[in-house]
Structure 1
């Protein structure tokens, strides 16, 4: 390939790549679709933080002597896309956190029951109303586990206007 042909192809690819205006492109690890939304459409900080959990799941642990539960509660923080997760199994209590990507809408965190006992999936609803899993809380061999099952990223592309 000659230098001239190479330069023409390089110029075409650069100009085609610079056609995006002030938009974001999002891709998930499990989903190959691309969504384009306006950047900075929702503030990163909350003005009012709810003290009660935004999502709760509880399942009674069978025991004749104790009133034990497997329970998950998700709480808002000052940062809009950051949530605190409090988990309990019998007398074991763990606190962790999850991050929800900024898709330009108010995040909705949900907890869905898994098929195995003492197991549930934490996730969020996307713009189309589909549940997107983030983490799984479960009990295995009497140990409480919290494992990340998927990652989501939001890319921000901006071009300078002249």
Structure 2
């Protein structure tokens, strides 16, 4: 789900050159088509489950609604991460508005060329993992009520270090 917006690399008809320079797959509307379609299928199957809101507090929903929420978050995460790179303008509100959005800074590195022999790809992947893994761990610890303040501070500092490294990269 999170990789779905990059389908425009594989399907020529979805590439920006066919849409006035807009990567339409990187709009909120298009990036949610797959998660919402999957969610509709799950609702029809009527799965059971629950979603954690905070430590010890659960929102009782059907499993299909829980999985729909997860799918929407996954579909939206790609847009958020691309926005945090701060390189490529995104048509977030397409088809309603063709306006492009781009942050004037980047907290995540750009992938550069997606080629196996590209050394910068691996460096930037390491930087991205240095940001995302501590954030994921902090979230998991906080949700489970096991986040010792010193551990959360350490993870925050690690993520901040890698964000500062990413922010200093050439864009």
TM-score range, shorter chain: under 0.3
TM-score with structure 1 setting the length: 0.26
Greater helix share, structure number: 2
Greater strand share, structure number: 1
TM-score with structure 2 setting the length: 0.25
Query: Based on CA coordinates, which of the two structures has the bigger radius of gyration?
Result: 1
